Structure 1
Amino acid sequence: MALQKLVWAELAVTDIDQALEFNIDVLGLREVSREGRKVYLSCDIDDPHAQLVLTDGGTGVRSFALGVDSEDELEQFEARLAVIGVTTERRSDAAPEQPTSVAFHLPTGQEVVLLPRPDRPLYRHPGFDTSSQRRGVGPADIDHITIAFSDDAEARAVAHVLTHGLGFKISDIFLNADDEWQAAWTRAGEVHHDVGLIRCQPGASLHHLAWTVDNMEHQKRAADTLASAGHLLETGPGRHGVGGNLYSYLWTPGGNRYELSAEMPRILGERTDPIVRKAGEFDAFSAWGATRPESFTHGS
């Protein structure tokens, strides 16, 4: 019994029309379906399923989905979550053409959906690359989500649900000067993180949603594409100190932050103990000396 990576995220946006214009015309996603003022978008030209759901009204993350291999595994996750006191709900309307799911809420309020995706490709074959057919920024896939928490107790409670309820492992924990959690990065499989946690202002639910780009050259082309459309980066390109992936960040129309991420490392072996680092001893933000922008502690 194991989880797949992030399948989709549902974000609230302040203006659905502006958000759609950006995500379709600039980011390069395509609409696959809609239900009223809720729109489903995909970055994969060969995948009929959405990786992003936009809902009109507000900001932040409403829910995000993690894939499971079969419906039989849903019952096992329900039992595992029940042991640690998490209430789950069976649903039949998580997304179009994806009728069966299990949903629950994290201690910070974000909804997590466990969704059977037996047809999800095990990997992306470089010999069948579709990058030449992408439009705009052209991300290859949804990459990870980093949710917001407001204090140490919330962060530890979320990590407990992810590790004991879903079988996640913690890759890194970053402590502030008071030895409280400032950030953490958790993984369902081998990649360094699928769900991150960053301390933000009270009331925020999302720090950023990340999209996979190919490499630094793609980062540069993406920055040029964004700038030519009038959208400037918040910070980057750069390489993170924790995790080591390449990054660029921007605030998007609709009120949420996106990351463009490349070269996400993989964790070797079955290591379960996280690496714990502390402010003042290690720069979690940048491996190259870039200064974290003041806005980076603000979520949506």
Structure 2
Amino acid sequence: MDQHYDLAHLSSVELFTPKFEESLWFFKDLLAMREVARIGDSAYLRCWDEYELYTIKLTASHTNGVGRTLYRAASQEALERRVAAIEATGLGHGWRDPEVGVGRSYEFEDPDGHLMVIYFDTERYVADDEDRPALKNQASAFPGRGVNARRLDHINYLAADVTANGKFWAEVMGSRESETVRLDDGGYGARWFRFLQKSYDVVYSNDWTGARGRFHHLAFSPDTREDILKAADIFLENGVYIEYGPYKHAINQTFFLYVWEPGGNRIEFANAGARLILDPESPTVIWSEAERAKGQAWGMKTVATFHTHGTPYVENQEEIDRLALEGKL
């Protein structure tokens, strides 16, 4: 494996929603994100301590799911190395002109068809008088309301072939695998990949439908477990569907809460208490199918819809989720 740390971080994600105004309310009012641009059918929103211009691009659509995911390279040389590796796979789409918040970038797809972008040149957020922080080492003022989502943490894609996508991220993107679920048949149920010392930035989970290009969840990081507990109260009061948690994951040990935003996309709040990986030669932690079946939250069983709900919806998605909750699948 290429031992360069060529990827700095996950920087922004485009989310599609068929309920634009309701989804915008969720992110702005409940998560305390700030809108920094509105172009066409898309709103650009930022978490309060992101150094870059925006965190998510919320786009009105006839469906839900994930659009383009943007990743920042660690340097111009790192960008060129990763682009060369991507082009060798035949999955590259080519260079793109500068756009909102980023300079010249390279567009590509993973083996499952998820659309992605890698870049280096970026626009740093400059707070105005209304948003200027008291502390000069944070990007903007602390909102002090709602969930106070501080930053984007990770993305979890659904995949028809977890093995192929894992190979792509290890060999082509140069990331490290921190933990994995190895199935009895030799395949993978899920794989977690990291760029630097965070325990994971990108996850792939098996899509039970066999479809390509679907989305499991996007995660935001508040500061503490208490913030996540408070978030559950906020969502309860505002009629947001709480799917799972607050609990603690066994894999990577994150304290978490999963909800479905109004457009149907699963959103996680996580990372309080997650482990850091300081060992540069840290081996991948392998969980067996039997170990995974014991449950991923303090040994408790995983809620059924965690394995059936994904976006964009498949045919009869709502009925499938209902049957899963009733234990009929």
Q: Which residue of 1 aligns with 2:289?
A: 279
Aligned to 2:195: 188
- Residues of 1 paired with 2:230 and 2:136: CA distance? 22
Unaligned runs of 5+ residues in structure 1 are: none
Taking a change above 3 Å as real, the CA distance of residues 216 and 193 of structure 1, as seen in their structure-2 partners, is same
Determine if contact 1:43/1:141 at 8 Å carries over to the other structure: yes
Identity of counterpart residues, as a percentage?
Answer: 27
Q: Distance in 2 between matches of 1:36 and 1:275?
A: 44
Query: Per-residue CA shift, 1:145-195, capped at 9, x if unaligned?
Result: 000013xxx211111221111110111110234342111101111111100
Give the deviation of 1:6 after TM superposition: 0.8
Q: 1:4-38: CA deviations, max 9, x gaps?
A: 11100111111211111111111211111021101
Residue 198 in 1 paired to residue 209 in 2? no
Q: Is the contact made by 2:101 and 2:122 (CA closer than 8 Å) also made in structure 1?
A: no
Q: Which residue of 2 aligns with 1:212?
A: 221
2:162 maps to 155
Instruction: Give the whole-Å Cα distance in 1 for the aligned partners of 2:8 and 2:47.
Output: 18
Q: Which residue of 2 aligns with 1:175?
A: 182
2:248 to 224, 239, 247: 239
| 8 A contact 1:4–1:66 mirrored in 2 | yes
Q: CA separation in 1, counterparts of 2:51 and 2:285?
A: 36
Deviations 1:118-137 (A, max 9, x none): 6779xxxx995678424311
Cα 1:171–1:45 shift into 2, 3 Å: closer
Number of equivalenced pairs: 292
Task: Say which SS state the counterpart of residue 17 (structure 1) adopts.
Answer: helix
TM-score by length of 1: 0.89
For the residue of structure 1 that corresponds to 2:236, the secondary structure is: helix
The answer on 1:61 being equivalent to 2:66 is yes
1:78 aligns with 2:87: no
- Structure 2's unaligned 5+ residue stretches are 126-134, 312-329
Question: Partner letter of residue 26 of structure 1?
Answer: L
**How much does 1:47 deviate?**
4.3
Structure 1: distance between partners of 2:80 and 2:294 = 38
2:310 maps to 1:299: yes
Residue 29 (structure 1) aligns with:
33
Q: Paired residue for 2:269?
A: 260
Alpha-carbon distance in structure 1 between the residues aligned to 2:95 and 2:17: 26
TM-score, normalised by the number of residues in structure 2: 0.81
CA contact (8 A) 2:104 2:121 kept: no
Report what 1:103 is aligned to: 107
Task: Name which one, 1 or 2, has greater alpha-carbon Rg.
Answer: 2
Compared CA separation, residues 295 and 116, structure 1 to 2 (3 A): same
Secondary structure of 1:268's match?
Answer: coil
**Take 1:48 and 1:249, find their aligned partners in 2: how far apart are those partners?**
25
Of the structure 1 ranges 99-108 and 199-208, higher mean CA displacement relative to structure 2 is found in: 199-208
Q: Which of 238-247 and 110-119 deviates more? A: 110-119
Secondary structure at the residue paired with 2:291?
Answer: coil
> 1:280 is aligned with what amino acid?
A
